A and B are shown apart, each in its own frame.
Chain A
Amino acid sequence: MTLSRTRLQVMWNRLLAVVEEQGQALIRAAFSPIVRECGDISAGIFDIRGRMLAQAVTGTPGHINTMAEAVKTLCARFPADAMQSGDIYMTNDPWIASGHLNDFLLMMPVFHAGRVIGFTACTSHLVDLGGLGMGPEGADIYDEGLLIPPCKLVESGEINTLLMEIVKANSREPVANEGDIYALIACCEAGATRLARMMTEFAINDLDTLADYIIDTSARGTQEAIAALPKGTFHNVLTVDGYDAPIDLHAALTIAEDHLLLDFTGTARCVEKGINVPLNYATAYAVFALRCIIGPDIPNNAGSLAPFRVTGPEGCILNAQSPAPVAMRHTLGQMTPDLVYGCLAQAVPDQVPAEGASCMYDLPLRHTADAATKGDTQFALELVFNGGTGARPTLDGLSATAFPSGVWGSQVETTEATAPVIISKRELRVDSGGAGTTRGGLGQHIELTAAQPQDLMLFLSVERVNNPAKGRHGGLDGAAGRITCGDRTLPGKGEFRVKAGETLTLETPGGGGFGPPQDRDRAALRHDITQGLVSEDAARTFYGDRR
């Protein structure tokens, strides 16, 4: 019996629902705050050839492609005919999984009628893997913690307890890590059960027809979207702050008839600190940015991702090779969309936003090493604040809003309940949005002190302190980020001690403007002034307002 198209579509919808269910279950059970607040996980279903058929739409784009490629790698390493029901494979190798050690990927073969018909896989961010911990200070991957090469975590339903003990023994948060790994196992199993149940319900014995339908339909839709773009090769260079010296990121985007090729040739070499980016992760953010504009209505799968090809010379900072340190790979990873948009804006100038704050202002705070002896409150807090997004071609940028990451900001009341800090101000930064026909989103101004007479440790890895978000097509730049502590101005990266009583002030960057400010609708400008987003002074200086 051939399967009707609507039946195939119902099954496709079912797969999309199953991965979302898996994702939700994983987020609910997770211990890592970054998972809870940002949905930093992934869940997917794959066919017997390792082709991704469906992936949950989760909070952060860092797992797009990375998971699809990781499963292919594991499938190549472990032959399906040697797999048994109840087996689960695992790795946190940054170059296979998702760019740094904290991301663990698990993959499980799905059995139906006695044979492997496909796989489920999921990824989650674990709290701590030992080493120097989350921060850019490691000199190489060995400093950054424990790396588990691809291995069998569960064999026929029996968990490898030694492996679990190793993961726990190498972590400052062994209980949370164990909890997160069990959550990943449960996620794989739930996906496998639901997939097998669907096959029974729809009376199919393999996924071949369904997989071809999903992949062909998606590939065709994506290719149609690409075909509608102007052809050519478009170049861009984005200068970012780097650790202690600026770094140039280069990209050449070639739009061909049926695919896109992004090449990072010319990009600076890796640096000594852990802000280097494995190519799988740079690819994830770059492709995410492209797919926001090219065929965003098509779900992620092998068919919709295939036309997006990314390459870069080995050893450049967007294609870091082991043993380069990569713990904070998201700092520059989050800048790749602006790099790519600089190319794409030349092809479709009326569809691409200006540059934004892009890199989130992640603020890990902790008690000092001597807290115990001094009787200080011991705590660990990871606050995330965002700047403004770039102005859109027809809309202003979004103020204090995450892009490209999907991170959630925190609430002051929750923060003050869980850590000994007081936040005394959190407001939008007037005039921080780049002026333009459409205005960049505003950054925010945050002031924080210790609630008790104790010092705090701050770990920074943020961008756009020296290189603000550029405007597009005549729009002006957004305000740069700024971090001060008492009367010191801090650089964007490093480890700092906030002394008792000192106020830490964080000003997140604004987004760039789009189009000449003189062309801004005067009513919109007046509105901005009334709402206090643009000052009268700035209106005169940047918009030529004569009122």
Chain B
Amino acid sequence: MHQTPQLRLAIDIGGTFTDTVLMDATHTVLATTKTPTTPDQPALGALQGAQYVLQSSGKTWREITGFVHGTTLATNALIERRGARVASITNEGFRDILEIAYERRYSQYAINLEKPDLIVPRARAFTIRGRMDVAGHELTPLDETALPAMVSALKDADVDAVAICLLHAYANPAHERRLRDLLTAALPELVVSVSHEVSPEAREFDRLCTTIANAYIQPLMARYLTDLKSLFSAEGLNCPILMMTAGGGMTTLDTAAHLPIRLVESGPAGGAILAARLARETDSRDVLSFDMGGTTAKLCLIDNFRAQTARKFEIGRAERFVKGSGMPVRIPVIEMIEIGAGGGSIAAVDRLGRITVGPKSAGSEPGPAAFGKGGTEPTVTDADVAQGLIDEGRFAEGRLAIDRTAAEDAVRRNVGAALSLDVAEAAQGVSDIVTESMASAGRMHAVESGKDLGTRLMIAFGGNGPLHATRVARRAGISRILVPRDPGVGSAVGFLYAPVSFEIIRSRYTTLDALDVDDLNRFFDAMAQEAEGVVRAGAPGETLSQRRLAFMRYHGQGHEIEIPLPDRPLTPSDIQDLRTGFEAEYSRQFSRTVPGMKIEVLNWAVSVSAPSPALSAANPQSGTTDCNSLEKRDILCEVTGAWRKAAVIDRDALTTGAQISGPALITEPQTTTFVSADFTATLDARGNIWLDQNSEALS
């Protein structure tokens, strides 16, 4: 297995569909498929997908040398509350870390808001005597005499799993370790998650939540991963299975079973990995990835070929898409902004006569009115149909008939009538509103990251991304878009470009002036060793690389800035470079530095990676595309507000260098690329479609 992979399989199990991609050594996609997800036994759906791509490309299980898997199973178990019965153990005097949280309402004006359910009720929140201080010194020893009572309380509570989170355990985990060992000895069947392994960062509420979430899905995921392995082995698969993580790397089944929380949101991460790779292949340093599907749109900033990462996200929000209404999970993740705007998002008119779109979604059942499966509320897709942007005959390879009349009726009834607009105006209104909300979310995300959108290349994929890309780009001030090949299964393709990697972020507070280099080097060595062990297991024999980061801020500020460190032990002379690096980045984000202000470091990270698969070569095709004799259809042009003839062409019929002026629709099995009237499409040698806004349109 040290040889270069010859045939690689990726399977992304989503909520509705399971996407499967088979790729050869030259990164040529041999086959893809979208099959319905089988929620009762997700591994079966995955198996069907794999069998289909193997069959259609004439390959066998034994030829597969790499298998990367991502699944929403972990995420869904958390959202749908289908996990284990968990108890928590915190320090004496701190039973209510969950309930107290940040003492905050997530919505300013909502008198009747309800806080999110954080899995462990107070009756199952136990405490134990013992305390570390911020430097990891023991203030009070762990009260081992309390163990028998604790054990019987856990038995009485009938729990499957325990989350242990003790104050300052990131600085000294001794009490957590000892408590775990004692509990495991007394209750061997009990699953125990300890906070210093799951999320070794300061802030007890976030760390406890993360540890609880991990414990909650651990039994379920361990079972699933065991089943998956035996099912695929029985078919003849003899390469290891690697799991996609939220951080955009791959990890082994063992690590996945131990830290299943790292597996959440791995599907969207695959999309960002794909976009980062396309950015590198096309040498685009400032990129926004735009992944729009049936229920949500996800945006990710990609700078210098690296997807932006974060250390925290939220799951199971009490109010969909409202920040702060969910359960925080603090692990390394590819940072994405997700908004309730997909093809199935429902449009309505509020009491002030304003059009609203989402976050309520018609999902896949009943789906948009146009799908004829009983949906009566107008959706974004219905508005697209009413504007002529979806070719009724070719949608989903003709497997799903589009009922244009039903779409128009829904738009007229629920939007047009209330605002005295005709169908076309109402449909365009719906589009305008959803477009603005996606563009605003992107701008806001850029501002929060201290970045700008206008100079970026948008990489659009997902079932609805290519259809909405030009509209969103125009409102976000973006003038260039790339639509990759196989955009409908972008996440699964991205899996095949991910490296085996593992990242650890750990808290260790110091001011820059007081930084003890020797101490810090020992701290880093321990972290690096831990991460290397995990990666080595998934990539034996590979040359591993390290990336080290410090999270720094001016004393008194709340926002930390990520500063790269050299990949070696630090010397006292590096401290000045750290200061310079911080000031340069601060000044890039805030246009000035603050001389005389103390600089502090809160967290440190080590990411260990095996190499990513090599870049694919361009594969020029010859021939010309005849753009004059193309089929035409009527579409509502959003630039002029008038109906116009748009060219319709199969993506497969395009040849390298072909240029199509908007308005035009480029169709393919899983999506349609809409070339707006103010854009021109070009196909490059790798098969990517480029959409460029015409310069005269930029006033």
**Interface, chain A (partner B; CB < 8 A):** 4-7, 9-10, 12-14, 17, 20-21, 24-25, 27-33, 36-37, 57, 59, 61, 127, 175-176, 178-179, 182-183, 186, 197, 200, 217-218, 220-221, 224, 291-293, 296-298, 353, 384-386, 392, 394-395, 398-403, 406-409, 411-414, 416-418, 422, 424-428, 444, 447, 451, 530-533
Contacts and interface: CB of A to CB of B under 8 A. Distances in A.
Contact of A402 (B95, B104, B436): B104
Interface string B569-600: 00000000000000000000111101111000
A295 B121 CA distance: 34
A406 B105 contact: yes
29 contacts: A5-B419, A6-B355, A6-B429, A10-B432, A10-B433, A10-B436, A21-B443, A28-B590, A31-B554, A57-B109, A59-B108, A127-B556, A175-B594, A178-B594, A224-B351, A297-B351, A297-B352, A394-B112, A401-B104, A406-B104, A411-B203, A411-B205, A413-B203, A416-B168, A417-B202, A425-B93, A426-B94, A531-B121, A531-B123
B4 interface: no
Given A20-B444, A297-B350, 12 more contacts: A5-B421, A17-B436, A17-B440, A33-B558, A127-B556, A395-B114, A399-B100, A400-B100, A400-B103, A411-B205, A412-B204, A424-B131
Contact of B428 (A6, A61, A533): A6
B168 A406 contact: no
Nearest to B134: A416
A424 B140 CA distance: 11
Contacts of A407: 103-104
Interface string B484-517: 0000000000000000000000010100000000
A6 B436 CA distance: 11
B629 interface: no
Q: Which of A61, A218, A297, A412 has the most CB of B within 10 A?
A: A412
Q: Which of B110, B111, B597 has the most CB of A within 10 A?
A: B111
B337 to A, nearest CB: 12
Q: Which of A127, A218, A426, A447 has the most CB of B within 10 A?
A: A426
Contact of A14 (B204, B440, B557): B440
A427 B96 contact: yes
A414 B553 CA distance: 14
Given A17-B440, A411-B203, A221 B139 contact: no
A38 to B, nearest CB: 9
B437 interface: yes
B17 to A, nearest CB: 32
A179 B447 contact: no
B433 A6 contact: yes
Contacts of A297: 350-352
A332 B352 CA distance: 35
A478 to B, nearest CB: 16
B96 A426 contact: yes
Nearest to B426: A6
Nearest to A61: B108
Q: Which of B507, B591, B596, B699 has the most CB of A within 10 A?
A: B591
Interface residues of B, number: 71
A439 B291 CA distance: 45
Interface in B538-561: 554, 556-559
A406 B323 CA distance: 14
Interface of B: 93-97, 99-105, 108-112, 114-115, 121-123, 131, 133-134, 139, 167-168, 202-205, 350-355, 419, 421, 425, 428-429, 432-433, 436-437, 440, 443-444, 447-448, 450, 477, 507, 509, 554, 556-559, 589-592, 594-597, 602, 699
Contacts of B444: 17, 20-21, 24
Contacts of B429: 4-6, 9
B102 to A, nearest CB: 5
Given A20-B444, A532-B122, A408 B103 contact: yes
A417 B93 CA distance: 19
Contacts of B448: 24, 28
A412 B105 contact: no
Contacts of A218: 352
Nearest to B430: A6
Contacts of B122: 531-533
A353 B351 CA distance: 25
A400 B121 contact: no
B594 to A, nearest CB: 5
A444 B96 contact: yes
Nearest to A293: B111
Contacts of B509: 417-418
B93 A399 contact: no
Q: Which of B94, B100, B594, B596 has the most CB of A within 10 A?
A: B100
A179 B595 CA distance: 10
